Structures are given as C-alpha cells and as structure tokens.
Chain A
C-alpha cells in the first residue's frame, strides 16, 4: 500500500493518476477537488457579496463573524435546516432529481481540468470534448427543474435557459475549435483534444493562445468569454433567473437545500468554464513568462508567490483585527479574525518553506510538492480573475432582453467565430 501511495510521488511519474491507473490517487484527487470546489464556492459567495456591496456603496455582510466572514456558513446551515418543500402539483421525482443533475454535471467537468501537467484526475484524450459535453448537460437540470415545478415562471425560465444554451454553445464550440487548431502547429502537425495537451502545446510554442496570431486568438478568447457568461446564466445574460422579470426563474419553487444545490451547481459551473478559458487561452498552469524568464532564479522568485499571497492575506486580516473597534462587543470578532490571520500566516509560512526546500532541481519530494503548488496556484489565480470579472459584470450592466441575446448569439458571435476559425486555419497553414 505505501508503495502504491508513494509511486505517484515518484519524480519519474509524469502522468495524471487516472492515466497512470492509480485509482487511489485518482480518488484522492476527486475528494480534494470536491472539497476544494465547495470551499471555493463558499469563498466566492462571500467575495461576491462583499465586492458587489462595495461596488454599490454598501458594506455587505458585517455581522456574522468579522466582516461577515462566517456569513456563507451561516447561510448554508440555515438552508440545510429549512423545511423541504415540494409543491403539491409538482412532479415529485423529477423535481427531486433536477438539482442533482445540475450539480453532477458541474462537478463531473472537474475530472479533466488540468491544474498541472500531472495534477488532474485524468488526462482524457478527448478532454475538451468531454468537458463541453458534460458542462452543457447542466442545462438539463435547469430545464427539468422548470418543467417539474409545474408553474409558469419556472417554465419560462427553463425555456429561456435551453434556448440560450443552444445558441451560445455553437459560437463557444467554434471558438474552442480555433484554439484546438493552434495546438497542431508543431513538427508532426497533429493537434490534441487533451486539456493537458493543449496547455503543453502553448508551452512548446512559447505563447499563450490568447496572443497567438494576434488578434485571432484574442477574438476567439473574447467570444468564449462572452459565451461562457451566457452559458452559466450570469448577468448580463441571466435570463433564466431574471429576478425582476421571472421572480426567480427556474428555481422559483425551490427552497432550502435543493435551492442551495442549484446555487452550488451554478458557481461550480462558473469555475469550470473559467478553467476551460484559462487552459485554452491563458496558458493553464504556466506562470507568467516561462520562456523569457526561465533562469532557475526566476523559478525560485515565482515559486515564492503562493506563500506571499497567503502572507498578504494574513497581513490584511491581521491589520483589520487591529483596526477593529475596541468595544467589548467586538472582542470575540477580533480574536476570531486574529486566529484566522494566524491560520493564513501559517499556511503562508508552510508554502514559503516548501518553496525554499524545493528550490533545487533534484526532483526530490519537496521539489515535486513545490512544483505542484506552483501549478495549482497560477491556475487558480487566473480562474479567480475570471470570477472577479463575473462579479464586475453583474455590478455594471443591465440585463439583455431575450431576443437581443439570441440576436447577438446567432448574428454576431456565430459569424465572427466562424470567420476566426477560417482565418486561424489559413494563417496556420501559411505560417507553419
């Protein structure tokens, strides 16, 4: 058994656990990703509420925990202990299974997301196809939920969502194809559909695909970035749950834990599509400028970033703890925030120690750890940038109307993505 566990940590292993047939590590990765995504959703929930509040000259949650840090947990507990209501007229089984479908689809996508060259559950050779296919299954949950509720607003929300998915999936797919075309610009002339392969292709060509054949890669990226907002039903394309129009859209009849499963699925899907964008156009797990700043010293400097990030967060939390008002009411909050700061600081210290210990290129276990942390860090950082964009969109823009959304999907984005695809193919042939 120990050998089985240690085998994956062996520096000579350069494939993902799924591909290596290491079921133990594949299971570990599944558990880590499931827990990690759930935690990320909770963090995202808090950050969204705080960031949105600050966009809107409000404070956001401030009461539950210091700066409302425990608010998502309080909400989760509240949702879990709420009464489980199924409307009398609803189709009970379908109503029950709908949130599961959405959640399952959102989480299954993570099996192929490449957090690093060997940091993924599996390296499927049809990775991107699998990803697109499974992520578009999520809309099935929404449609089924709207239908099973046996109510008008959810039905309209569900129909909107399905129509929206159909029209944006096409442009999205074409944008993805133009990125895949770029992977074939190598000596053998063969591309790859493997997510890890796509990132490695960017590594070999020495350029993120967003900058490849500028502006072709960039346009494809922008089309994908727009389509993924529509795909996940977020503002300004949040037709399916447009609050001011359809009260709550497809989940109007849902409450309690089932409703929170929909929310979990929505946020998980947001992270998933952002991960696709990062892997396809933003160099996946690669740190900035690995081709220009490739000296070992640069490697070391960039490997300090994870620790420094956590250190910075710890410093912010610590300063806020010091700045707390001195009334006795805030005492427990101050202590809590200080403990939180200490926890972040401990993580920062750990990461820095790993970065220093693993700086030699001898491929020891520490070096391997350091490498893995680097990969995951840069990947997550890029995804986090997208998450912030999602919040920013929501704070800034009004909502598109349904027909306008269709118009953009079919009349603007589809022709542009087709044109980009053809242009990429031609330019690729000429330059290779």
Chain B
C-alpha cells in the first residue's frame, strides 16, 4: 500500500499547470516526522458510500490522496450488451440512484437520437418537469449530506423532509420513488395523473420558503463560511483540463450548462439563468447549487403552466432496432455532464454502450482540490463534489 500511496503524491494530472496554485509545498513533512497513511473508507461515515481514499498525511495535513474505486462495480456497461435497448432502460436508474430520472432521460434521448425519432412535445414537457424535480431532490440530498459531513446535523433532516414531497410526486406518477424508470424510448409510458399539475404547483409553493430555511441555517453561518470559503479551490482552467462539469465547473466561473449550450428535451423554450461562482471554492459550489434549485423551480413553473396537450409517445416500432451507427448524447444531470455513447450494429442490443458519468470524472479533481488542506477538508471536498458511488463504479 505504501508504494501505491507514494505514487499518489506524484500523480498529478500532467496537463494541468500547477505552478500558479496556492498550495504551498505540501510534499514535505515537518520535524522529521513520519508520514501517516490512512485508509479512509470504503467503510467510513462520510465517503458517501464505498469510496476508499488512501490519504498520505503529515499530522493533519494532506500530502496526497489516491482514490480506490470499484467496490460497487456491477458491470452496467457490459450488461447493456446483453440486454435489448428496452430492457436496459431500468438499469440506468441504478447508476446515479439519487437522480434516476435524469439518467433515464439521457439514455432515452440517446437512443431516440440514434433511431432518429423525437418525443412529442407533451412528453418533452413531462420529462423536463420530472427531471428538474429530480435535480432539486438530488441537490437536497447533496445539501443534507454535505452539511452533515461538515458537522451540521439538522439540515439533513430538513432536506429529507422536503425531498419526500418530490418523491411522492414521482410515486404518484410512475409508482416508484427512487429508481423510477419514468421514461421510455420515444416518450413517456404514463400520462400524468389527475392533479399532477396541482401537485407540482403545490410543491413549488411549499418549497420556496424551505430553501430560505436551509439558507438561514447555513449561508451566513460563521462556522459554515469558515469551513467552506477557500476550501477545495479549483480554477476554471483546471476544471476544463480535468473534464470536470456541472456545478463544480460553474462555481469556478465557467458558464457552461448543457441545457443552454446544446438544448435537449424542451429546454430551449424556457427562460432561466445559469448561476455561476467566482472563486471555485466549496462555498461557491454551495451557492451555485442553492441558486440552481431556485432556477429549477422557475423552469418547472414555466413548464407546468405551458404543458401542451397531445400524445406522449412518439412513433417508435414495437421492437427497437436502431440503424448501424454510433451516437454520443449528453445531458446536464444534477451532478454534471451525463453522456451516453452507444454503438449500434443494427441488432436489438447495443454493440457497446459507454456511460460518461459526471461523478466519476469530477472525482478526479479530488486530489488537486485537497492537497495541502486538512483531513476535515477532505470530507468537505468529497461532499462538495457530490459523488454517488453507484455512478462512479457503475
């Protein structure tokens, strides 16, 4: 293990210019002390599942990290090769199980793009509403666990209480709460239930003061500020070099959101802003996600009031057989760019399916973000990256 960790200290992304980063010279220990190598995880209360981080420490100071992943590997991409396109649809829900609806949207749209069909307008609106609700739910889960990692217990219970309302809407819509399997290739399986619009609008009215409640506990909290400001700083250039996307990228000042950059579903029809940060620290990422929740509410409000009538299923054959070819389609999942690369050989099963999960790519930035910080910051940064190990390991 010691060999691997000493490798970790030299393991910097070679294409990232680290000379201008303000980390001091963390590769030296003081007072001739020995380095302490600590195994954080896979069983640890704050690594969000089964992430294992090998930390090389000088006292409390982090000299280097190495992530060991794969404890939750289920071979999802290989499974895809042995399932038909329709049969694989529920599997994508099990990757990022905190944002199952978004995963489903990305997969369905990728296959639709490969088959060159389009979902009807009503289906697109339903997709937008559910996906944005899922974004709020995912951010709520992130906020609760992130605050818990930093030591504030109470927000966790508040966010879970309010997330319940979203899950209730999902349950009424498709019968499932977490792994929803809400969408089908070509549209939606289910028409909205009676009172769907009312439920969603009620939720918006219910949730607006709740965000203020979360913010009242944290945003101006002195301890929260000290724990998050200037912690885990990453520049926009580093984000781009490492392929980091989502709120992390936007908090570093890069205005990049696939919903605006290459609109999918019905996103081009809605008016919303892309919140960005300045410093790229943990606090900015917190603020970006809080603002994103408010923007999601704006989108949902517009979508729910403008939802068109019409069919919910496009013209798709009973047996889905995309033509020979390959496609890469990506969407803005709550955690970043979620891409599906599908190679079709013309049969009912994908020849190869590759997922670009946001958590997996974002996790790469951990080492860069925590070097020279303290153990407590490692926890804060893991929380702020917002990883889901189901997605990292697939």
**Closest B residue to A152 using CB positions:** B38
The answer to whether A397 touches B223 (Cβ under 8 A) is yes
Chain A nearest Cβ from B2, distance in angstroms: 14
Task: Give Cα A395 to B375, complex, Å.
Answer: 23
The answer to whether A398 touches B152 (Cβ under 8 A) is yes
* Of A5-13, A69-77, A141-149, A235-243, the one touching chain B: A235-243
Question: Is B267 an interface residue when CB atoms closer than 8 A count as contact?
Answer: no
Question: How many B residues touch the partner, as a band?
Answer: 20 to 34
Task: Give Cα A400 to B60, complex, Å.
Answer: 14
Chain B nearest Cβ from A326, distance in angstroms: 29
Question: Is B153 an interface residue when CB atoms closer than 8 A count as contact?
Answer: yes
Residue among B59, B158, B221, B374 making CB contact with A401, cutoff 8 Å? B374
Question: Is A394 an interface residue when CB atoms closer than 8 A count as contact?
Answer: yes
The answer to whether B379 touches A244 (Cβ under 8 A) is yes
Also in contact, A397 and B148, with CB within 8 A (given A156-B375, A244-B46, A245-B379): no
The answer to whether B154 touches A56 (Cβ under 8 A) is yes
**Closest A residue to B38 using CB positions:** A152
Task: Give Cα A159 to B150, complex, Å.
Answer: 20
The answer to whether B152 touches A247 (Cβ under 8 A) is no
Also in contact, A398 and B46, with CB within 8 A (given A236-B151, A244-B151): no
Task: Give Cα A52 to B156, complex, Å.
Answer: 13
Binding site for B on A (CB under 8 A): 52, 55-58, 152-153, 156, 159-160, 235-236, 238, 242-247, 394-404
The answer to whether B153 touches A403 (Cβ under 8 A) is no
Q: What would be 22 A-B contacts, judged by CB atoms less than 8 Å apart? A: A55-B154, A56-B154, A57-B161, A153-B38, A156-B38, A156-B60, A156-B375, A160-B60, A243-B45, A244-B149, A247-B44, A247-B45, A395-B153, A395-B154, A396-B217, A397-B152, A398-B150, A399-B151, A399-B152, A401-B376, A402-B374, A404-B227
Chain B nearest Cβ from A143, distance in angstroms: 15
Task: Give Cα A362 to B81, complex, Å.
Answer: 95
Question: Is B66 an interface residue when CB atoms closer than 8 A count as contact?
Answer: no
Also in contact, A401 and B377, with CB within 8 A (given A57-B157, A153-B38, A244-B46): yes
Question: Is B100 an interface residue when CB atoms closer than 8 A count as contact?
Answer: no
Residue among A245, A396, A399, A403 making CB contact with B154, cutoff 8 Å? A396
Identify 5 new A-B residue pairs, CB closer than 8 A, beyond the known A156-B60, A402-B376: A156-B375, A159-B59, A244-B379, A398-B150, A398-B221
Also in contact, A401 and B226, with CB within 8 A (given A242-B151, A242-B376, A244-B149): yes
Task: Give Cα A235 to B59, complex, Å.
Answer: 22
Interface string of B111-141 (1 = CB under 8 A from A): 0000000000000000000000000000000
Interface string of B363-386 (1 = CB under 8 A from A): 000000000001111010000000
B44 contacts which chain A residues (CB < 8 A)? Answer: 247
Residue among B148, B158, B221 making CB contact with A57, cutoff 8 Å? B158
The answer to whether B60 touches A398 (Cβ under 8 A) is no
Residue among B36, B148, B149, B161 facing the most chain A CB atoms (10 A cut-off): B149
B214 contacts which chain A residues (CB < 8 A)? Answer: none
A399 contacts which chain B residues (CB < 8 A)? Answer: 150-152, 223, 227, 376
A394 contacts which chain B residues (CB < 8 A)? Answer: 153
The answer to whether B157 touches A398 (Cβ under 8 A) is no
Chain B nearest Cβ from A340, distance in angstroms: 29
Question: Is B147 an interface residue when CB atoms closer than 8 A count as contact?
Answer: yes
Task: Give Cα A401 to B373, complex, Å.
Answer: 11
Task: Give Cα A160 to B375, complex, Å.
Answer: 12
**Closest B residue to A53 using CB positions:** B157
The answer to whether B148 touches A244 (Cβ under 8 A) is yes
B36 contacts which chain A residues (CB < 8 A)? Answer: 152, 156
Task: Give Cα A247 to B59, complex, Å.
Answer: 17
Task: Give Cα A403 to B221, complex, Å.
Answer: 18
The answer to whether A56 touches B157 (Cβ under 8 A) is yes
Residue among B60, B150, B151, B157 making CB contact with A402, cutoff 8 Å? B60
The answer to whether B375 touches A245 (Cβ under 8 A) is yes
Also in contact, A397 and B151, with CB within 8 A (given A247-B45, A404-B226): yes
Chain A nearest Cβ from B357, distance in angstroms: 24
Question: Is B224 an interface residue when CB atoms closer than 8 A count as contact?
Answer: yes
Task: Give Cα A402 to B59, complex, Å.
Answer: 11
The answer to whether A398 touches B147 (Cβ under 8 A) is yes
Task: Give Cα A56 to B39, complex, Å.
Answer: 32
**Closest A residue to B161 using CB positions:** A57
**Closest A residue to B218 using CB positions:** A398
The answer to whether A245 touches B223 (Cβ under 8 A) is no
Within 8 A of A (CB), among B341-377: 374-377
Within 8 A of A (CB), among B208-240: 217-218, 221, 223-224, 226-227
Within 8 A of A (CB), among B26-51: 36, 38-39, 44-46
Those 3 A-B pairs whose CB atoms lie nearest each other, nearest first: A399-B151, A244-B46, A56-B157
A396 contacts which chain B residues (CB < 8 A)? Answer: 152, 154, 217
Chain B nearest Cβ from A103, distance in angstroms: 26
Task: Give Cα A403 to B38, complex, Å.
Answer: 20
Within 8 A of A (CB), among B148-171: 148-154, 156-158, 161
The answer to whether B217 touches A245 (Cβ under 8 A) is no
Residue among B44, B149, B151, B158 facing the most chain A CB atoms (10 A cut-off): B151
Residue among B44, B217, B223, B374 facing the most chain A CB atoms (10 A cut-off): B223
The answer to whether A245 touches B153 (Cβ under 8 A) is no
Task: Give Cα A238 to B374, complex, Å.
Answer: 16
Chain A nearest Cβ from B103, distance in angstroms: 27
**Closest B residue to A239 using CB positions:** B376
The answer to whether B153 touches A401 (Cβ under 8 A) is no
Task: Give Cα A153 to B376, complex, Å.
Answer: 12
Task: Give Cα A244 to B377, complex, Å.
Answer: 11
Residue among A160, A243, A397 making CB contact with B221, cutoff 8 Å? A397
B148 contacts which chain A residues (CB < 8 A)? Answer: 244
The answer to whether B227 touches A398 (Cβ under 8 A) is yes
The answer to whether B157 touches A400 (Cβ under 8 A) is no
Also in contact, A244 and B227, with CB within 8 A (given A56-B157, A395-B154, A397-B152): no
**Closest B residue to A236 using CB positions:** B223
B45 contacts which chain A residues (CB < 8 A)? Answer: 243-244, 247
**Closest A residue to B147 using CB positions:** A398
A243 contacts which chain B residues (CB < 8 A)? Answer: 45-46
**Closest B residue to A408 using CB positions:** B226
**Closest B residue to A151 using CB positions:** B38
B59 contacts which chain A residues (CB < 8 A)? Answer: 159
